[in-house]
Structure 1
Amino acid sequence: MTSKESKDDASLGDQDAVDVLEAESKEFDKDAEIDRILKAFRLDAYSVLDLQPGVPESDIKLTYRKKSLLIHPDKTKNPLAPEAFDRLKKAQTELMDEKHRERLDEAIADARMLLIRENKWTVDSPELKTDDFSKKWRDKTREVLIENELRRKRQLKAQMQEEGREQRKAEQEIEDRKRKRQHEQDWESTRDQRIDSWRQFQKSKSGGGDGEKKKKKKLKPIG
């Protein structure tokens, strides 16, 4: 083997090592992002996508594209990738839905105002610019979102119960009308029979009366 060949082999070995390190680094980044997504508060789509509230739709689309390519289940061996990918997709869908995003933005704004009121601050207070406030704001946002979700579920449950009552009422009305129609049909089907029975009754009654009169005439004393 010549010295040139030895150098080439060494270069290939070094390149292989670099490739392995890069692959491991990329896999580490994928694992870290999957872990972050799964630990993010799922009711806060901004948190799942690691975005700040108020970003434009273009940022949402770009961020989703980058992260979805990074953690796509086909591009990583991490068994949790499918779950993380689904959560990422759900978060992106929610933020692209105008009404859902408005509700989320409103909850985040409510959390900020609640913190200001609870601490008797003003919108110009210096405390609002600290990292401590940012953390408290995230925690308060979590509380507000949980309360909103519980309220939504209670309303949904009440709505379903009301719909159930209305459904049972409608079914009962249908059953009542069905029984009424059946009764009318039964009554009509026996009409001729009832008429014949009535005629027989009247005929027997009439015949019994004549026999009684004749009997009475025979028993009438003479002169």
Structure 2
Amino acid sequence: MATKEESPVEDKDALDTLETEAKEFDKDAEIDRILKAFRLDAYAVLDLNPGVPESDIKLAYRKKSLLIHPDKTKNPSAPEAFDRLKKAQTELMDEKHRERLDEAIADARMLLIRENKWTVDSPELKTEDFAKKWRVKTREVLIDNELRRKRQMKAQMQEEGREQRKVDQDLEDRKRKRQHEQDWESTRDQRIDSWRQFQKSKSGDDKKKKKKLKPIG
């Protein structure tokens, strides 16, 4: 039985469909990878090795951002993945943040070496197993650093809160003092009049008492 041969147009449409599906698969895979990456490690989010130059960071961000941009895919998770990608790029382009991240990664490596009683020249450091353990240890160090940072921030906020309450109390005390002085000054004439009336009344009583005194003899 003879089969109908597909036309060149149909062949092109089929290839275009396959290509579109492949691109969507790549986009979905990259979005999934970003969302599963440890967000405290900006290198992991951008899928880069620590210590790469800024040019590599910019290039990686550009390629990935174009791939997963929410305007270019129907994946509902694209906006979140795009935001994480942008945040990671911003962190790595910040000199201080990147320095802290590099220090944490270096600390994780040294901790791993000490825990296993290796040296910096040990052959184990060149294995894939070490690379996996390093990533796990880096995660632990970054989490510990983040928890410490949050505790310090909380303590600082509490201290700032105490300082602010002290400032507010001082302001309230000064306000009450000013109000007391104003009230005292506003009743000055009344107090003077009352004192004069009291003195006048007292003087009248003294005169009456003198009149009642009988002469001696």
> What TM-score do the two structures reach when normalised by structure 2?
0.96
Question: Where do residues 60-79 of structure 1 align in structure 2 (5 Å cutoff)?
Answer: 60-79=57-76
Please state how far the C-alpha of 1:220 moved relative to its aligned partner. 2.7
Structure 2 distance, partners of 1:63, 1:211, is 108
Q: Secondary structure at the match of 1:197?
A: helix
How far does the alpha carbon of each residue in 1:1-58 deviate from its partner, in whole angstroms, 9 at most, with x for none? Answer: xxxxx98x61111111111111100000000000000000000000000000000000
Q: Which residue of 2 aligns with 1:199?
A: 196
Where does residue 50 of structure 1 map in the other structure? 47
Matches within 5 A, 1:3-152: 10-152=7-149
The offset of 1:204, in angstroms, is: 1.0
Q: Secondary structure at the match of 1:122?
A: coil
Q: Residues 146-185 of structure 1 correspond to what in structure 2 (within 5 A)?
A: 146-185=143-182
- C-alpha distance in structure 1 between counterparts of 2:175 and 2:102, whole Å: 52
**What is the CA distance between 1:103 and its match in structure 2?**
0.2
Distance 2:23 2:212 in 1: 123
> What is the SS of the residue equivalent to 1:171?
helix
* 1:139-192: CA deviation from partner (whole Å, max 9, x where unpaired): 000000000000000011111111111111101100000000000000001111
Which residue does the alignment assign to 2:215? 220
Identical positions, percent: 84
Counterpart CA distance in 1 for 2:201 and 2:18 is 114
The DSSP-based 3-state class of the residue aligned with 2:7 is: helix
Aligned residue for 2:144, secondary structure, equals helix
Provide the alpha-carbon RMSD of the alignment. Answer: 1.1
| Structure 2 unmatched ranges of 5 or more | none
Deviating 4+ runs (over 2 angstroms): none
In the alignment, the residues of structure 1 paired with residue 98 and residue 163 of structure 2 have an alpha-carbon distance, to the nearest angstrom, of 33
Q: Distance in 2 between matches of 1:87 and 1:81?
A: 10
Task: Report the Cα offset of residue 211 of structure 1.
Answer: 1.4
Code of the residue aligned with 2:163 in structure 1: it is E
Q: Report how many residues are paired.
A: 214
